[in-house]
Amino acid sequence: MIYFATALAFVWPTWYSLRGGWQGERGFQIAGFDTNALGLGLLAIAAAVYFWGMEYGIALIVAVAIHEFGHVAAFRVCGHADARFRLIPMMGGVAISNQVPASADKAFFITLMGPAINLGPMVFCFAVSESVFAAEFASEIPYQIASYLYVQGMVIAALNFFNLLPLWPFDGGKLTQSLTFSFAPDLTRSVSLAMMGFAVLLCLATQSLFLLFFVLFSWPSLMQSENLLHLQRPLSRKRALLSLAAYIATAAAFFAGGHPLMKGFF
């Protein structure tokens, strides 16, 4: 019951914060379900299953889809009715809007809600799996479902914790850049370059050549993001502190849920 109560404690604030963002101008849609988007989505699923196996591959796709829809729902709350997302093979997904956020607090909200929307689903997966494992008379099928949900919860947690690391171009890097600009604007360029440099070193250390290409390919977006910071209304001191607290708390929750899985990679 503790897990279920915790899940509800995460789900209700998330639902309330994103009220009005669950549907776009045409209702629920993923990039309009156009042929190219559907083909990319199917290819992304196939690639995930091929590299990670059926259970972890499907769990990864589900986690990415929830994550990207968190960005989309937050975009819509901020007035971006055109927001949608695509699944991209080997790269996860990307949320799309034809507009840029008008202020730094909206941009921070949109960026953080990609990971944060996963808090409720993560705890819910752990709650259901824990309940089934604790039952004395559960049959084989519920045990299989519980096993998958436990994996799903860990994948959600690990994926979003990694995404929140202060590395460019991950969400954590964007949040760190925004907070740096709020507290120490003169250090923004140095911190941005340092985050990208650390990301490159991590790719080389883990021999993740595809991820290295992804990081280097993000160089133009890094330059564009700095220009955008000067055009947006900045975070106030109070909002910057609240944003920092929300960032740290979200990352800590995902670390708590995903560390059993992450230990296998280090």
- pLDDT at site 194: 93
- pLDDT at site 54: 75
Question: Mean pLDDT highest for which of 9-13, 65-69, 262-266?
Answer: 65-69
- pLDDT at site 224: 82
- pLDDT at site 166: 93
pTM: 0.81
Residue of 28 and 214 predicted with greater confidence: 214
Residue of 132 and 141 predicted with greater confidence: 132
In the chain, % of residues over pLDDT 70: 72
Which ranges in 118-187 belong to alpha helices (H)? 119-134, 140-163, 171-183
Neighbouring C-beta atoms of residue 189, cutoff 10 Å:
15
pLDDT over threshold 90, residue 134: no
Going from N- to C-terminal start, the domains of the chain cover 19-99, 121-266
Please tell me the least confidently modeled range out of 174-178, 208-212, 253-257.
Answer: 208-212
| Mean of per-residue pLDDT scores for the chain | 78
| Tokens read off for 60 | 């990864």
Average of pLDDT values for 4-28?
Answer: 62
Tracing tokens 């990301």 back to the chain, one arrives at: 199
pLDDT band at 80 (very low <50, low <70, confident <90, very high): confident
Residue-wise pLDDT for 22-58, tens only, equals 555 544 444 444 444 444 445 555 655 656 677 888 8
- pLDDT at site 195: 92
Please choose, from the candidates 95, 84, 97, 86, the residue with its C-alpha nearest in 3D space to the C-alpha of residue 45: 86
- pLDDT at site 247: 95
pLDDT band at 164 (very low <50, low <70, confident <90, very high): very high
Which ranges in the chain belong to alpha helices (H)? 2-17, 35-77, 104-116, 119-134, 140-163, 171-183, 188-206, 209-217, 219-231, 237-262
- pLDDT at site 181: 92
CB 117 within 8 A of CB 18: yes
| Tokens read off for 130 | 């824990």
Q: Which residues pair with 84 in a beta bridge?
A: 96
- pLDDT at site 46: 63
- pLDDT at site 34: 45
CB 199 within 8 A of CB 215: yes
